Each structure stands twice: as structure tokens, then as C-alpha cells.
Structure 1
Amino acid sequence: MRAAQTQRRFRGKNRAPKWKKPDDGQVSVMVLPLAVTDPADLARLEKLFGSMWSVKRAVQRDARARVDACWAARHERERDGAKAVRQRLGLSREALERCAYTHLEDSGHLKHHASKALAMHMADEVWNGVQRHLFPDATGHRSGKPKTGGWYDFTRIPGRARSHTTDRKWETFRLVGTLHGHAMAYTGSGRHLVQQPRRMRVPMILSGVMPSGEVTASGKPRTRKETWWDHTGPLVVVFAGGPGSHAGDLVLPVRVPQHPGQWARVEHFLSDPGRWHKVDLVRRRKASAPGGWVYEAHLMILGPGYTAPAVRRMRDRAAETGRIGGVDGNVSNVSVVSFPAGLDPADGSPASTEITLGLRERVFLERDAKKRRGRARALERSRRATNTAQYGLSKKQTERAEHRASKGLKPKTVTVPGGARAARVDGVPRQAFRRDRISGGYRELRARQAEAAAGSAEHRRHRARQIARQIIAAHGPVLVVEDCDIRTWYRLWGKRLSQTTPGLLISALDRECAAAGGRLVRASTWSTALSQHCLCGERVNKTLRDREHQCMACGLVGKRDLVSAALAAFVRFADVDDPNSAYLDTTASRRAQTVFAEGLEEALRESTAPSQTTVHGAGHVAVPRQRRGTSAPRTAGQRPRATPDETRPVRDHAGKPGHRPGRDPQLTLW
């Protein structure tokens, strides 16, 4: 009989002090593109992502079922407590990790591509979403129920952070090599310090031996085999010791930015390997790449991100301006007005800036929207052509078929039906869209659509950062803005908001103010009502259609948005962190109106900020000159009804001599 098996041993609690992040707690991420050109490595990456998506989908389904059971056990939660119910159902980080281990071991084939460490990290990612749903945040809000994601939405495999207490302990994905070795391997010529080829070679670890630093009893130095920790050549991401170790380590060459302006940023992130903390493997849609995906390594370092010297100087000058300002966000423009902090004319005069869409930007947005509509129509035609049984004939196609039948002609096969989708009586399609057959062309079109959307979003974020830096350079980093929920504006003016993105600009302004040593404070609209007051303290009621401010008491006339922004500069707080504690200091606003007089009225009529450079996002777009007597083309987003920021019709300067198209007097958004 077989001897009794020994009891399984578990590792005890670690007695070493727990490592903590530095006091500043700052972390930053650098995106390192991976030059994966070997078909074998590409296949291994695809299988790795496929297996990890299967694990995540299984854990998400289990987590959603357990969450539903937890909310259904109302009487048990009242009797035993919510903690006991969660413990019984397995709603904890450790329980979800064991669930991921079970799925990985029971599947059989997943163990050939993914490891238990990766499954544990993926379970932790799922638990983060479950935790946000079970436990409310500081404001009392909960996130929605965890949902099972789709294949194309799965883009990241989290890695394990390295150990900063034990040397040479970095599981899953790790970055090896040195920046100096990378520069020596790909030494450039001319204006480029580094010149990396299109197909980068994969470094190999030799089977040689190296001294281990110890000596034997005979006094000879002890040797050991060479490992990846000894690699000092080009930078590579290694997935070593995984389930597919029989095929060798998965080595992915890294392509660092090689332009001269980027080398300082590269040195900031990669020169000190002791700051490297974690590597995540990420994929991004790209139709022209093999397989439709490109892969990246997101390197997290312990420390602040890189800031260009010009940006640092600009932030330092902004912190020394000594100005206070207000911001008024609207559907199609953002207005900023600032004053000297002491309201002394010797320190400066009031300045104002309006951020609007120029003619050139609107032309670019129209062309971009036309491209999106074309891609959407192409996708719909491809789906209809592949699933003809799920769609009926259009009215024109039906009339043509009846006409051919009346003439005794042979019925013509319709390759792209133009009618409605086959549905039940209640309007639900008979076959779900996810069960439709899709062609290779459809997949390529969808990849190009996702790639274009991602590029457009990144372009908007970049332009928002540029404009935010120009704003704080002119008005300082101490600003006040109304606490508005911009999500509610999309119900009426969604198309216009998608063009101007005021929420994105205000978020970028918040980050730039904090980086420059200031703050963007939010004030409640109920306690201030900036749009319904004047600088003199009198209440001036206006509707959404009224875009001009006219005060009968003091005679002040100006743009409504600029007046609201000027009033925001005089908002005071009992508690800066509580927007509801905001109130309007009418004494200070009346003093500013008296001190600055004509300068203030000029600032409230038009933009007067020193920074009058126009930021273009349309690139080189040719704007046709408009003939005399013709009306301006209708821009996307214009509606017949009034909007909160609808003013006089936009003036078109394209027909005026000596005027460059797109050079509006305001600071354009893109």
C-alpha cells in the first residue's frame, strides 16, 4: 500500500519589512513599442492574449454571478451581515484568484500558453472592478456590475511588479538590457543618435559561464551559467520560465524613440534600471500590421514623468504671474478672465481669452465626420452582403422585383439587401448581431475605424494640453470654474460637444494648474449663479438665448460668457474642497469694476490675452475661398434651436482681402 502522503506545506508569513513606495508616491508610464517581426513570436503572442482573455472572461462571469447572488441574499445580509455573505460566496481577492487557478488547471490547453502568475494578476484586475461595485467611494457612489468584456476590448495583460528588496526577482514580463547597450548596438549617423532597423535582431544568451563571486574549497572561483540578468546589450522584454519554456524564452525587442527631441525623455525613463517597477503587455489595433495588432510594453517607473525644459520654464513663469482667474465652460466655447491678485493696476490689467472653433478647424471636423460616415456605411454594406438572410429588401428593390416578375423575367439575386433587419413582433432582431458572419474585409474596416478613432482621441488630448498650458501662461495657475456635469449636456448638444470637448479641456486645465503649483477649484452653480449676476452685485436675469450681458444698474455691457468668467475670479469658499460652500464676493467684484473701468469693459467685449497664437489641429487643409453673395457652409453640429452658447452667426473672414483662413481673433480649440 502506498505510504501516507505528507500534509501539504504552506509558506508562512514574510517576516521581512513590507516594501512601500517612496514618500512622494509618484509613478509614471512610458510606452515602448515592440518590434515583433518573427512569425513564431507573433503566434505565441496571439495565443498568450487569447488564453488570458479566456481566463478573464471566465473569472468575470463567475464574479458577476456571485455579485448577483450577494444582492439577492437580502435577508441573509440583514441577519448575518454583508461580510459573512461575501465570505460565503467567495467575493474576495483570494477567492477570485483561486477561481482563476481552477479555470486554468481544468482547461488543459490554457496551461500551455499562460502561467498561474498571469492568472492571479488577471483575477486581481477583475476584483478591482468588483470592489468598486460592492463598496461606495467617498461620495457614496458605486460603479456598475462587472460585465464580461469582448475580444476586441481586451488589450492589456498586467505584469507583476519587481521586488525592490530581493535582487533579481521580477516575474512574468521583465525589461532587461541597458540604454547604453541599446545605443551601442544601434548607433546612428547624422542627426539621429540611434538608428534602429525595421527588423530588429533578437539577442541570444550564450551558454557560457560567468564568475558567481564565490570561491570553492580549493580556492578557485565558482562559476555559473549566464542568464538574462547578465544581459547588458539592447533592451528587450522577456517572458521567461512560462508554460511554453520548451520553445524557449519569449524575447521581444524594444524600439525606443530615436528622434533627437525624444532622447532626453528616453534617458529620463530608461537610464536608471533601479526605478523600473512593472511591465504590462498591451496590444493596439492597426489594420496594416500582421494580424491586425501591434504590441507595446508599458513600463511603469517610480518617480515623476518627463517634463520638457520649455514646459518647466513656462510653468515657473505662470506660478510667478500672481493672477487670479475664472473659467466659464460652454457647449462650443470656453472663456477665461483673470485679474491681478491684489487688484492693483500697477501689477497688470484684466485679460480675457475665448477658446472657440475656427473656420479651418470646422472644415477639418466636417471632413473627419464624412470619413466616419463612409466607414460606417462600408461596414453596414459588408454585414448585409454577408448575412443576406437577416435583412429584407428595400422599397426600391421590392418594386424592381415585382416589375421583373410582371414582365416574366428571371428574378435577380440581390447581393446587398437594403431593407430592415428581420425582427420579431416586439422589434427584437431574430438573430443577435454577434452571431452574424463577418468577412475579412469587415474585420479590416473595423480595425481601421478603431485605429482612426484612437488617433483622433489622442490628437484631441494633445491639443487640450497645449491650450491649457497657454491659458495658465497668460492667466496663472489659480482658477475657478463652475461645477457642472457636462454629461447632461450631451442629451441636447451631443454633436457640438463632440467637436469642442469642453470637458476634456477643463480636465487638462486642472492637471496643468496642479503641475504649475496652483489649483482649479470648482464652485457650485446653485450658490453662485454667475450667469445671472453682474460685477456690481445686481442680479441680471438672462435666458439661454441671451448671449449679451447688459446691466441697467451700472451700464456694463459685455459677452455673457466673459462676464461669468470674470465673476468666477471673485468666488470665495468656506471650504475649498466643498463646491457647495462657494459664494460670490460682490465687494471685490465692485472694486475691480471701479479700479479697472475701461480696461475691464474692453476685456469683457473681446479676447485681450497676451497669448494670441492660434492652435491649429487640421494640419494642411485647403479652405476654398468663398465667393461674394454666397452663404457660409453649414457646419456639423448647427441646429435650428437655440443652444446655451448660440450667439450671432459665425463671421466668415475668408472673403476679406489680406486675411488668412482660420486666423480668428480668438484662441481656437484645436
Structure 2
Amino acid sequence: MTNADDPTARRRGPGQAPVWRWDGPVSVLRLPLDVHDPALRRHVERVFATAFAVRRAVQRDARARLTAFATARQLRTAVDPAVARDRLGLTRAGLEQAAYRHLDRAAHLRRYLTKALAMHGADVVWQALEHHLFPDAAGRRRERAAALSRRGGVDVNVSNLAIVSVPAADAGDALRVTRIAATGEDVERLTAERLRQRRSRALQRSRRASNPGQYRLSDGQQRRADRRLAAGLPPVQVPVPRGPRIATVAGAPVQAYRHDRTSATYRQLRAAIAADGEARTHARTADSSATATSSPPSSAPTPPWPSRVCPARPGSTGPLPAPRSPRTAWHPSATGCKEP
């Protein structure tokens, strides 16, 4: 008789010791995020917007599954409630799989969101849902979300968002109205972004109008030209072709952009864009200087720069190089470094 045949044999099971937990102090280090760069700011905003959209989609899935679980009385009576929840996908793993499916169906979201972040968003939804499904130590359960007991509508305008909700049943609650408007820095940022987009489109139109032979016709323009040709009508000169740039097989433009003809309007727009960029650079420099001035001085001494380190080759030594013109070719003798 072996241990496998002995029903009284001791087998490995859950530990009897309490789970270790840290009860001491916890330090949190908050680091600022520099989003002065417009491109970086847009990317960060899209990351948060994508995460919020996926979480809202998972919330809708959880709400639908919770409603199905509440109305499936026969299923809960016939089988165990845990089996019913598993069949309906009302579990942590089920919500995580729902988040994965949303990402797979919208491939463009993968640029800003990973499956790990989507899984964390689904876990947050499950934590809120878990308090409603399972009672706590005192036997209490959280009620369903207020959004499930109210019906509402959303009015999206150019500069504001209005949300109106009424009770789903005759509960006696009053009408609730919430209005969200963009003010202050948001308005300034949106205005600057719209100005940048308008200038970019104006530059594209001006370049295409000044160099029509370097661009192809768009699909619509080409269809129109084919219809006129089939009808025997004379061709129409297109002032601004909206198709792609004429390029080689490798994708490089046949004519370099620096050889394009530019109009006076194009040059004025480029000068205005350069002036705005210089103003933003000065503003960021002033903010950095003000921050450095207001911050307390560091107590740690600044280490001196070594005087015998040669920046030309790792591991070599020598005096620091003398400043030279950018047009001057580099040579080891100019920096005092010795070639190996």
C-alpha cells in the first residue's frame, strides 16, 4: 500500500501561519511630469483618455452581466451562484478578458494602452463590483451604482458638456443637471492647438498650390477626371491637388522639399510659427529659472569635473578639449587624446 492509496496520508495544503503584512510607515515620492512639449502633452492626454474609454467599456459589460445575473433566478436556483457567475463572465478573469477583447477590436488603442494597463482597469471595476456581489464581515452589501438606477442624456457642445439624469423608477428624486465647461488654461491650450492646426493646413495648401506638379490627385479628383475623359469633356486644371507627394519606389520624394517654390504667404506663416515657438521657449526657460530660484539649495556638494577625462574615446585620458568651430574637423591631436 502506497501513500497515494492511503486516504489518511498527509498532503501539502494551505499554510496555517498568518499571512505576512507590512504594518510600518510607508513613504510616497511624488515626481512632477513635465508636459510643456505639446506633442508629449497630447500623448499623455491620449493615454489617460484611452484608459478611461476602456474602463468605461468594461463598466458597461459588468453592468450588463450584473443585470443578467440578477434576472436569471432559475439559473441561480438550478446551479450554484458561483457557476452562474462563471457562465455569465461575472468574474475578475471574465472582466479582464472583456478588456482584452476591447483592445483587440480597436487596434489603434494599442499605441497608447497595453494589455497590462487594461487588466488593471478591469481589476478596478471588479473591486467595485465585488462589494455588491459579496457581503462584508457584518453581512452588508453595497447597493448598485447610482447610474444603474437613473436614466440620463448627454448634450455635447463645442465648449461645454451637459449631463441630465432622472430616476429610472418613481423614486421621488429631483432632476439632476451637471455642466462641465472648459475654462482657463484649457481654453488657452485648445485655442493654441486650433491655431496650430489652421496654420498647418494653410502651409500644406500653399505648398501644394505653388507646386501642383509634385503631388498626385486624390481619389475623388481622379474619379472626376476619369468621368470627364469618358464623357469627352476637356480636362480641368486642378489648382490644389489633394493626393500624396510624388515619390520614388523607396518612398523618397522625387523633388526635395527645399527645392519647392514658396509664396509670400507661406513664408509669413513660417515666420509667425517660428516666432511663437521662440516665445514658448523663452517662457519655459523663464519658468525653469523661477523654479530653480525658488527651490532650496542642495546640501550635497557638487562634485568637481575631472580635468583629465577625454570625451573622445571611453577609457582614454587627457586634457579637456579647447572650444572649436562646428565646421572644424575633429582630430585626436586637437583634444590632447592619444589614439590607442
- TM-score range normalised by the length of the shorter chain: 0.3 to 0.5
Q: Which has the larger radius of gyration?
A: 2
TM-score normalised by length of structure 1: 0.20
Higher helix share: 2
TM-score normalised by length of structure 2: 0.38
Higher strand share: 1
